[in-house]
């Protein structure tokens, strides 16, 4: 399991979006570039002992990704869908793990993808000038150098709506919705809103966003965490959270 000290980043794997099969795992990146993981390990997704030189981590369904300092990517866990087939990736600067697919941004702004392409979520070979990516259940989202947003895959997850988004600095992909924060601290959301997970238009001074399966979180510049969406398991009970920034 390893010791959870000097952690600089964390990633959470997920129970499969709609089948609720499998259990979850949690991954942590230490300041020295090593990785720790806890949780269900039925597919080997927690077999990260011995990893070194890691600069970024991502976790999907039964899968863990690591971006190394040399621009290569490692993956462990379930590979039935081919989402761990990242051995040939090089010059990667950002990675994302969806339910069944993995995505990486190259230093030249192009994008690589591996795994299930049922809805076209891996059709990203023509993308250019990308600086960051996010992966959901059946869709992929990217931020471009000019602050625009690209999408691939299931259009109901926010596809057409994002074409009007501008000055975007970061995106996050939920199971069936897409969220972004712009340079002014405003939040945009599109896609499935069955639980109110896209009701974020009034949020301001946001510095970071995260999209879960059916809920959305926003970190405000004063350390307050806002939440919208499904709260069946208390996942939106963040009213008392105060994070120290900087």
Alpha-carbon distances, residue 122 vs 53, 102, 115, 118 (angstroms): 27, 8, 7, 9
Reference 136, options 85, 177, 168, 165; nearest CA is 177
How many CB atoms neighbour CB 9 within 10 A?
15
| Same domain for 5 and 127 | yes
Judgement on whether residues 8 and 77 belong to the same structural domain of the protein:
yes
Quickly tell me which residue has 């080997």 as its tokens: 44
Tell me, yes or no, whether 126 and 215 share the same domain: no
Has residue 203 been placed in a domain?
A: yes
Query: Is 147 in contact with 167 (CB distance < 8 Å)?
Result: yes
pTM for this one?
0.93
Q: Please answer whether residues 211 and 180 qualify as being in contact, where contact means their C-beta atoms are separated by less than 8 angstroms.
A: no
Q: How far is residue 50's CA from residue 210's CA, in Å, rounded to a whole number?
A: 29
Q: Does residue 95 lie within any of the structural domains?
A: yes
Same domain, 80 and 163: no
Q: Does the residue 35 lie in any domain?
A: yes
Same domain assignment for residues 109 and 213: no
Cα distance between residue 70 and residue 56, in whole Å: 12
Distance (Å, whole) CA 52 – CA 88:
18
Domain C-terminal end among 131, 146, 180: 131
pLDDT > 90 in the chain, percent: 89
User: What is the pLDDT, as a whole number, of residue 2?
Assistant: 73
pLDDT: which is higher, 14 or 141: 141
Predicted confidence (pLDDT) per residue in 15-35, tens digit: 655 555 556 899 999 999 999
Is 57 strand, coil or helix? strand
Q: Where are the alpha helices (DSSP H) in 4-126?
A: none
91 half-sphere exposure, CB direction, 13 A CA radius: 7
- What is the distance between the terminal CA atoms of the chain, rounded to a whole angstrom? 29
Tokens of 120: 């076209």
Compute the radius of gyration of the chain from its Cα atoms.
17
Question: How many domains does one find in the chain?
Answer: 2
Range of the domain at 107: 1-131
Supply the CATH number for residue 9's domain: 2.130.10.30
Same domain, 89 and 5: yes
Say whether both 102 and 16 belong to one domain.
Answer: yes
Residue 148 within a domain? no
Q: From CA 217, how far away is CA 172, in angstroms rounded? A: 10
Phi, psi of 157 (to 5 degrees): -85, 10
- What pLDDT, in 10s, does the model give residues 193-219? 999 999 999 999 999 999 999 999 999
- The verdict on residue 16 lying in a domain is yes
- Tell me, yes or no, whether 147 lies in a domain: no
Instruction: Give the three-class secondary structure for 161.
Output: helix
Are 206 and 106 in the same domain?
Answer: no
Kindly state whether residues 1 and 96 are assigned to the same domain: yes
138 in a structural domain: no
202 and 116, same structural domain? no
Q: Closest Cα partner for 12 from 161, 148, 212?
A: 212
Is residue 114 located within the same domain as residue 25? yes
Last-in-domain residue among 131, 166, 192: 131
- Kindly state whether residue 144 falls inside one of the protein's structural domains: no
Q: What values do phi and psi take at 57, rounded to 5?
A: -130, 155
How much is the average pLDDT of 155-172? Answer: 94
Beta carbons of 154 and 139 less than 8 angstroms apart: yes
**Residue 96 — very low, low, confident or very high, per pLDDT cuts 50/70/90?**
very high
Task: Decide: 191 and 174 in contact? Cβ < 8 Å.
Answer: yes
Residue at a domain's end among 131, 165, 184: 131
Say yes or no: 125 and 163 in one domain.
no
């Amino acid at each position: 399991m390893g010791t959870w000290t000097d952690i600089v980043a964390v990633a959470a794997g997920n129970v499969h979006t709609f089948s609720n099969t499998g259990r979850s795992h949690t991954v942590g990146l230490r300041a020295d570039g090593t990785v720790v993981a806890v949780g269900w390990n039925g597919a080997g997704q927690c077999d990260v002992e011995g990893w070194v030189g890691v600069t970024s981590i991502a976790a999907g369904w039964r899968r863990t990704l690591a971006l190394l300092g040399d621009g290569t990517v490692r993956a462990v866990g379930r590979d039935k869908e081919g989402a761990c087939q990242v051995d040939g990736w090089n010059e990667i600067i950002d990675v994302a793990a969806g339910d069944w697919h993995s995505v990486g941004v190259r230093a030249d702004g192009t994008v690589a993808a591996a795994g299930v392409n049922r809805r076209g979520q891996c059709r990203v070979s023509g993308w250019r000038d990308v600086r960051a990516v996010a992966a959901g259940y059946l869709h992929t989202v990217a931020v471009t150098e000019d602050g625009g947003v690209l999408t691939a895959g299931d259009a109901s997850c926010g596809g057409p709506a994002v074409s009007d988004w501008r000055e975007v600095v970061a995106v996050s992909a939920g199971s069936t919705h897409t969220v972004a924060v712009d340079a002014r601290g405003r939040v945009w959301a599109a896609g499935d809103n069955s639980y109110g997970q896209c009701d974020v238009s009034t949020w301001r001074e946001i510095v970071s966003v995260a999209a879960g399966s059916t809920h959305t979180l926003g970190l405000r510049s004063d350390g307050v965490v806002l939440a919208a969406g499904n709260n069946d398991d208390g996942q939106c009970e963040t009213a008392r959270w105060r994070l120290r920034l900087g």
